[in-house]
Amino acid sequence: MDVFLNGMVFSLFALFLLSSLQKIVHLRHFLDTVTAYNILPQSIARVAGALIPFLELAGAILLTSAKTMMYGATILIFLLLSFLFAVVQVIKTKRNVICGCYGRFLEAQADLFTLVKIFVLLILTFVVILTPPNDAAVYTPLSVSIGLFLTGMILLCQKIWTHHQHTMRILRSTK
């Protein structure tokens, strides 16, 4: 069980590390994305947008040690709940907004798929919180492989869904 749990933790680490670094590298673009959600006043949205990638990075890094894992998971749960709220608001108002989940690495819409993905990540993160870590998180080649596989599956599912949406828009426009 430790191997699978460590794999889940490594998956969260890898996903949030990738996401945070992409947002930091393209910070202006991410700030525009956060502002486009139109949930917070623009000045507050820009501050939140500037903080989010660094909170994601801190959460990811804190997951790498058994002593700080709970802090990292708590930061990620706070962020995921914030993302959940924002995406629900976008869906309720039927607006098309890029979710900004992965920065410019993989642009996707804030939609029902995004909600499902957030719920999956919340479940993984709650499992981390509810399962006390051993004295040291040991990342074996198997647990890292499991983590990379889970991360790859999340990204692949997102890519397939984004491609499907794009294809459906093209088909609808040709009618």
Whether the CB-CB separation of 80 and 118 falls below 8 Å is answered with: yes
pLDDT for res 50: 97
The pTM of the full predicted model, rounded to 2 decimals, is 0.91
3-47 pLDDT per residue, tens: 888 899 999 999 999 999 999 999 999 999 999 999 999 999 999
pLDDT for res 169: 87
**Confidence label for 125 from pLDDT (cuts 50, 70 and 90):** very high
Cα distance between residue 128 and residue 138, in whole Å: 14
For residues 165-170, average pLDDT? 90
pLDDT for res 37: 95
**Confidence label for 144 from pLDDT (cuts 50, 70 and 90):** very high
Lowest mean pLDDT among 50-64, 107-121, 133-147: 133-147
